[in-house]
Amino acid sequence: MANNRSGGRSSGAFDNMKYEVAREVGVNLKEGYNGDITSREAGKIGGTIVKKVFSSFREQNPQA
């Protein structure tokens, strides 16, 4: 299992982004356990988050 510094808890900002993206891509994500979503649905959420983070980085750092 992955080791994270937050002791198993996601930050509030990340949770907000996760639920916002889930709504955008049409995935019914609920608080708590989401083991019933498919790998494809989880990948849509994760992939969209990565795209948004990189886009935000590029806007803030155009020379990168």
Please state, in angstroms and rounded to a whole number, the distance separating the CA atoms of residues 39 and 44: 9
pTM: 0.75
| Residue 39 scores a pLDDT above 60 | yes
pLDDT tens profile 2-26: 444 555 555 898 899 999 999 999 9
Which class for 45: exposed (0-12), middle (13-18), buried (19 or more C-beta within 10 A)?
Answer: buried
